[in-house]
Structure formats: structure tokens, C-alpha cells
Amino acid sequence: MSHDTHLSLWAADRLHNISELRFRVTKTLMSARSEFQHVAVVDTEGYGRMLFNDSVAMISTRDEFIYHEMIAHVPMFVHPAVRRALVIGGGDGGTVRELLRHRGVERVDLVEIDRLVVDACREHIPETAAALDDPRCRVIIDDGKRFVAEAPDGAYELVIVDSTDPAGPSVPLFGAEFYDDVHRVLGPDGIAIAQAESPSHEPATQRRMLGLMRDRFSRVQLYNYANLIYPGGLWSFSYACKRDLCPVGDFDEARVAASALRFRYYSPAIHRAAFVHPQYQVDALAGLLSPWKSTRG
Amino acid sequence: MSHDTHLSLWAADRLHNISELRFRVTKTLMSARSEFQHVAVVDTEGYGRMLFNDSVAMISTRDEFIYHEMIAHVPMFVHPAVRRALVIGGGDGGTVRELLRHRGVERVDLVEIDRLVVDACREHIPETAAALDDPRCRVIIDDGKRFVAEAPDGAYELVIVDSTDPAGPSVPLFGAEFYDDVHRVLGPDGIAIAQAESPSHEPATQRRMLGLMRDRFSRVQLYNYANLIYPGGLWSFSYACKRDLCPVGDFDEARVAASALRFRYYSPAIHRAAFVHPQYQVDALAGLLSPWKSTRG
């Protein structure tokens, strides 16, 4: 690794101009502008290799397992049998990789709007992007909103919205029309998961997202995780399902052991604990979340 | 508030020279060097007022409730009846404030080595420091290690080590002799809680701390929380008790409702979920934590 020792280089992810999380860069592997955003892949001193879109940290090879295990395995172990999944965004391939670890999955469609993200990750971040070359994965470079609008009814058991923040190309993925189509393309037991921002920095976004889902789905929940590269400690994923499939009450942890999969963040206990919110988040989301089913006995 | 609009001022908390969390500063209220460390209090754009010791973020008025509720209420609702508590460090007063919300508490001794921290907080951060002037609180400016060495046997039901990172004045608070004395000054049901660093950035420190406690206490656990101003998402407190008082199995959540206290982070569900660790932390701490008692039925 060639260290740029003559310069102190930092990649800076700024939050609302109030704080900034900076990562010490040892080497810039690529840095280019696409039609949609600026994309960069860098090596860092402490976080391995990192992808930045418009200067916002997307993933690091040190901690991407946290985000990708939590976005994928929570719904995979709640839905009775996912065979076909749709991932919108997530051009790094990490979510696809985790989905494909489940033997029942026959096909994952990955719809990424920005070819540059896929190309950059394929070249520089094989840890996640190798999954995109799995024969069960179909990579589609397209607008996710348009793709779901044209997809057939009931085509998927699971839709994962693995988007960037609601700015730039991701804005339509936080809108009402998009969720009409997500609901429509799901089968009867279908689950929709979406990247749902920070409970402390974006409570209004969380409320808006959950409101959209509540108008369309039988059950809406939110679950939290904590990675190393996003600001503000906790971060969330939303959970919505067409029929009333409770991610805690209907969760059968015996399926996790039976899968023989090994995880670095996820576990049955973490699955349940992720749906427990700090009191400030409980208060902020009052009235938006579905009541719990009692735990299966 | 007088904004320093001519300058872009950032207070930077650097972690191991690999990353840096920076906060936009609008005003510096004090900045001075004591015998022990550099102390600064600043107003920020997004985090309210903040205290920095040696350029490391200690508290912000935006999120200090998270740290202080979790360090205080977890043991307070497990121990049958805390009357006398000792806080070592914590010169900002936030931990004392939360302890004194419990009606049974008759006295809290706060032992802070650095008078400058107490003075700075009394002048600039009354949100936390006002508690130091409560008649039930005794503020002692002294070396915490010496103080416990000289304290009588069984003098406290609860000892909280509310320390900075294991560098500078806090180094002795991460040592074996100190924990001999913490054990000795606790009564038979006594609980010791300590600031236990980051599971992802300081796993070796966590293992060392838990090992020290395991050699001395009946039960050792670790619990996590996530605030906004510490790097790396999750952060931990260690839990150790003289007799086998399980913070989950012996936790009676009816006491929380009976207290009529209102919280912004803590809740009975958060109390239990905090003891659930990501798999990487479970693996890192293998063999160091006590087995769970089954939940009280």
C-alpha cells in the first residue's frame, strides 16, 4: 500500500453542517463523477477500503458486515420462504451477498441506478461485489422507481430498498408512488425493508417513511443497529409486510440454528433486541408502529 | 450567541489517528489547562454545549441523558436499595443528577481528581452540574484511587467509575489495586459499574477490565448503549456485583413503573436489550461474562 505520507488526507462525511466524521485516507483508488453523483473508493488507515457517494460514507470493508447482515437476515428469518428478492440500490453487492447465503433463494434482482457504483465496487471491493457475479443474481442498471413500476404483481417475496440518504438519486425511493409499487410487486407474505436513516438526526424522515408504509401494509416496524461509519450511534431499517407477519412474535429462532449460517453481528438475540428502541425514539414514533404479537409459545 | 462567522471552527475528537469526529463550534466558553489535562467548554451548532477533556468529547447537552441514564439506572433498578453511592470521576455532575432522582438515595460522594472540570461545569453546564450542589451530594476533589483505598469497608451500595479513557489521569482506574478497593468498600449486595470503552475500538481494554472484575466479583456483565458523540456506534459499561445479583434475571421491571421516574433513553426493555451483544462482541468476550440466571418468573 502506497501511503501518501507527505499529506494528511481525510475523507470527510459531513452531517447537516453540525458534525463531520473523517477517515484517514492512505490511498485513493478511484474518484469520478457519474451522471448521478460523485463516487470514490479509498483505502483508509483504520477502516479498510471505503466507498463514498457524494462524500457520504457508504460502506467500509471493516464494518459492512453489520449493515448487510442486519438488512438481509432479519426479513430472511421472518418470511417463511424467500425465493425471489429484489434489491433497489445496494450496487456494492453486500446485501445480495448476504441474501444468497440462504439456500432457498433462487434469484436476486439488483437494480442500481448508477453503473459507476457497480463498476467501481466490482473493480475495487470484491468483498461485497463478487456476489453480483453469482449466477442467481441479475444486475440491472436502471431507475429503481421505474423498475418496480414495470415489474409484475407478486413477483417477489422480499424487496430491500438499500438506498443512500433521501437526496440526489434516492429521493423518489422515499415517496408514496414508489411504495404503491413495492406493495404490488410483493407476494401475499411479502416483506419490504428499507434503509431508514438515523433516529436522532432524521426523526421526521423516519416518521414520514413509516406513515407511507402504514397506509399500505398490514404491519410496520423499525429496527436499529449500530455500525462504525455512520454518524450518531444508532441507525435504522424499516420493516413492512403485506399480511401480519410479526418480526418478533412470528420469529422462530430455531431456523437460525438450522440454517447453519455463521454471523458476525446478527444473532437471534440481536434480532429481537434490534426492535427495542430508546425512549426518545419510542416517543418520536408514537402511533406509527404496529402493536406486537405475543411471542410464539 | 456570538457566532464566530469569520472562522470555520471545529472541535475534533481523534480516535487512534484513524478517524475523527468533529463538531462545529459557535463559541468557546472556556479553555484552560489544569495540572491533569486540558479542559474546554464550547457551544456547538448542533449538539448544544460540550465539554472536552484533552480534546476528547466528554458530554454534550444534546445527548448526555443517554450516557447518564444508562450508567445510573441500570444498577439502581437491580440493587434492592441503594442509600449511599460513590461516583469516581464524573465531575460534570450528570451521573450524580440521575442517582439523586431515586428517593432512597441518602448520599452520593463524587470524587473528581480535577477541580477545573467541576468548576467549568458549575459555571457553564448547569444542566448536569447543578446536581453537585444538592445537599445529598458531597463533592471531593481528590485522586479516586487514593479515596477508595482510604474509604471504610462496606461504605457504599453502589460504586460508579465514571472515568475518561484509560490515558492520563484515569489510568489507575483501570488497574487491579483499584478494583480490590472498590470490592472492599461495597456492601454485601454492592454493585460496581464502570465506563468500559468501545466494543469495536477497544476490545482488549474490555477483556482486561472484565478479567480484573471476574477475579474479584461473583458476577460480571457488560452492557451497551449508543450516544451521538462517541465514535463507533456502540459503547459499553461494565457491571460487577459482590453477590450474584443478575442484572437481567433479577431485574424487576415493576420497580421502574413504581418509581414514577420518566426517562428519555432508559426503559425496562432497553435495560434488557442493552445486555444483548452483537456476535463479534460475544466472540471477543467469550469466557469472561457470567452465565445468565433465568428470568424471574
Query: How large is the ipTM?
Result: 0.94
Looking at residue B193, its pLDDT comes to: 98
Q: Which cell numbers hold the place of A267?
A: 444473532
pLDDT at A4 over 60: no
pLDDT at B2 over 90: no
B10, B230, B263 member nearest A20 (Cβ):
B10
Task: Please tell me whether residue A219 adopts helix, strand or coil conformation.
Answer: strand
Looking at residue A39, its pLDDT comes to: 96
How far, in Å, are A23, A228, B165, B199, B288 from residue B202 at the CA level?
Answer: 18, 13, 10, 6, 15
- B264 CB neighbours in chain A (<8 A) are 278-280
pLDDT at A2 over 50: no
pLDDT at B3 over 90: no
| Residue type at A285 in one-letter notation | L
Inform me whether the C-beta atom of residue B226 falls under 8 Å from chain A C-beta atoms: yes
Closest-CA distance, A60 to chain B, in angstroms, reads 13
Q: Which of B3, B15, B19 is the best residue to mutate to test the A interface, defined by the most A CB atoms within 10 Å of its own CB?
A: B19
Torsion angle (degrees, nearest 10) of CA B110, B113, B117, B118: 40
Q: Which of B47, B223, B228 is the best residue to mutate to test the A interface, defined by the most A CB atoms within 10 Å of its own CB?
A: B228
Q: Sign of the CA dihedral B147, B153, B159, B161?
A: positive
**Is B162 labeled as catalytic in the residue annotation?**
yes
User: Kindly report the CA angle at B68 between B67 and B71, in degrees rounded to 5?
Assistant: 85
From CA A293, how far away is CA B47, in angstroms rounded?
37
H/E run at residue B10: strand B10-15
Q: Which residue of A has its CA nearest to B16?
A: A46
Closest-CA distance, B63 to chain A, in angstroms, reads 9
Query: Which residues are paired to A30 by β-bridges?
Result: A41
H/E run at residue B89: strand B84-89
H/E run at residue B242: none
Q: Do A19 and B22 touch (CB under 8 A)?
A: yes
**What is the arithmetic mean of pLDDT over B23-29?**
94
Q: Do B22 and A18 touch (CB under 8 A)?
A: no
| Out of A2-16, A154-168, B139-153, least confident range | A2-16
What domains sit in chain B, N to C, each tagged with a CATH number? 10-58 (2.30.140.10), 64-284 (3.40.50.150)
Q: Which residue of A has its CA nearest to B228?
A: A232
Looking at residue B8, its pLDDT comes to: 67
Looking at residue B10, its pLDDT comes to: 83
What does the DSSP 8-state code read for residue A229?
S
Contacts 24+ apart (CB under 8 A), A120-125: A120/A30, A120/A32, A120/A39, A120/A41, A120/A51, A121/A41, A121/A51, A121/A91, A121/A92, A121/A93, A122/A93, A123/A30, A124/A29, A124/A30, A124/A41, A124/A49, A125/A41, A125/A49, A125/A51, A125/A59, A125/A61, A125/A92, A125/A93
**CB of B245 within 8 A of CB of B158?**
no
pLDDT at A296 over 50: no
Full-model pTM: 0.95
**CB of A40 within 8 A of CB of A51?**
yes
